[in-house]
Amino acid sequence: MQKSPLVAIDTNFPLLLAQENETAADALDILRKRVKPSEIIVPPTVFDELLFQTRDPSNENLRALAKTALSGLRSRWDFHPVTLDATQGVIVEEAARKIMEAGILPPEERNDATIISESALLNSILIVSNDSHLLEADHRSLGLLFRELDLPVPLIISPREILQKFYR
C-alpha cells in the first residue's frame, strides 16, 4: 500500500488562514478531503519566517497575524513543523543555490528557493502558496535542475487553484 502524500505550505498560507480568508480555509478543507495528505508540513524556513514576522516592529498588523498563525499551526490547523539534520541542510542549500544560479527565481527570493528545496527534500507532492514568485517559477526548469540533484519536484499551487482544480 502506498503511503499518503505530504503537502508543504509557504509562509503566506497560515497568514491567510489567520486572517480567516475563506479561499484559504476552503482550500485546506479540500486538501484534507480530496488529497488526503498524511501530513501538512511546515518547512523550517516557513517556520523561521513566521517567527521573524512575530518580532518585526515595522508592521503591527503582520506581527499580529504571524502570532496568530504561529500559535495555530498545530492546535488549529494540525500542521507539522519539521526540522532538517545537517546533511539535509547541506542538500537544501545546494539546491537553493542552483535555483538562484539558474534564474528560476529573482535574486531577492532566496528564502523561496530554500522553501522549494526543503519541500522537495521532504518529498512533498504540493507546496501551497499565494506567492507569485513561487507560482510563476518555471516548473520545467525546476524539474530539470532537481532531476540532476535526484530530488522530486513538488507542484506549487495557490489556494484558489486548489478550489478550481479539486472542487468538483
pLDDT at 5: 86
72 versus 168: which is more confidently predicted?
72
Was domain 6-160 assigned CATH 3.90.1150.10? no
- Report the DSSP pairing between strands 39-42 and 79-81: parallel
pLDDT in tens, 21-43: 999 999 999 999 988 878 999 99
**Residue boundaries of the structural domains of the chain:** 6-160
* For range 94-117, the mean pLDDT: 96
pLDDT at 1: 43
For the chain, give the percent of residues with pLDDT over 70.
96
Instruction: List Cβ neighbours of 51 (8 Å cut-off, separation of 6 or more).
Output: 66, 70
pLDDT in tens, 107-130: 999 999 999 999 999 999 999 999
> To which H or E segment does residue 10 belong?
none
Distance (Å, rounded) from C-alpha 91 to C-alpha 149?
Answer: 9
Average pLDDT, the chain: 93
Strands in 155-157's sheet, in edge-to-edge order, are 79-81, 39-42, 6-9, 124-128, 155-157
Distance (Å, rounded) from C-alpha 94 to C-alpha 72?
Answer: 31
pLDDT in tens, 1-10: 455 689 999 9
Distance (Å, rounded) from C-alpha 86 to C-alpha 89?
Answer: 5
